[in-house]
Amino acid sequence: MAIRIIRGYRTISYDAALTLAGTIPYDMVANADAETYYLARHLRMSGHETSKALIKQLRDLALKRASHSRKAELEASSSAHKRGVKKLLPLWDSWLAKGTLTLSYRITQVLSGHGCFGEYLHRIGAEEHPGCHEYGAALNYPQHTLESCPSFEQQRLTLQHCVGPLILSEALVKTLIGNDLERSAVSLFCDEVLKIKETKEMERKKATLSRKARREIRTRTRRQQRLNNTT
């Protein structure tokens, strides 16, 4: 469910998917609801009135405790270093308070590092090296694309005109939980930049396939020539 909410790749980890979706594990939610139920029942049995407002307050407190437990759990685990989790932990309460944000397919790629970034493509065996094809940076990953790749300087300037001279990789999460105008500007930037990267990736794949096809034709031709010479 969380992966569908964030429009993410199936390879996104469980912890990253839940964090990006702005939710905590459902067993923690169930435990918070059970805690609320038993506390409300205890109050009623003790002769206290339990209004809807009080029950909501009790549930909110139980969910807040569960949220803090979840944050501590993530910070103590290896997931704290995953890109989809690491950027959100410093703004954990604000991110969860926003509820389920509508993340676009490409914003999720930027936050998680999946998709058309060289670092990811190399890791899954789709690229020969993890670097930037256009400008030779050793690693092509979201921070390089957002902040420094000259290929997207014009798009970067357009975005900075809307949101100010931000270090995008650091301010991205703050912008997403900010006002609608800034969030829309970031979404447009990510869509435009990643569409360009996706197009270039497809062109490289086609060129690679063409080279392979030509090699196969040459190999078959030489093989046929050898067969002809032996007959």
In this structure, is the dihedral angle defined by the CA atoms of residues 171, 174, 176 and 182, taken in order, positive or negative?
negative
Name the residue with higher pLDDT: 128 or 55.
Answer: 55
Q: What is the pLDDT of residues 170-180, one digit of tens each?
A: 677 888 887 78
Q: What is the pLDDT of residues 208-225, one digit of tens each?
A: 777 666 677 677 777 767
% the chain with pLDDT above 90: 24
pTM: predicted TM-score of the whole model, two decimal places: 0.76
pLDDT at site 70:
95
Confidence at 30, pLDDT banded by 50, 70, 90: very high
pLDDT at site 105:
87
pLDDT at site 168:
60
- Non-local CB neighbours of 128 within 8 Å, separated by 6+ positions: 122
Q: What is the pLDDT of residues 131-186, one digit of tens each?
A: 988 887 888 888 888 888 889 999 988 888 877 766 566 677 888 887 788 888 88
- Nearest CA to 155 out of 167, 165, 146, 166 is that of 146
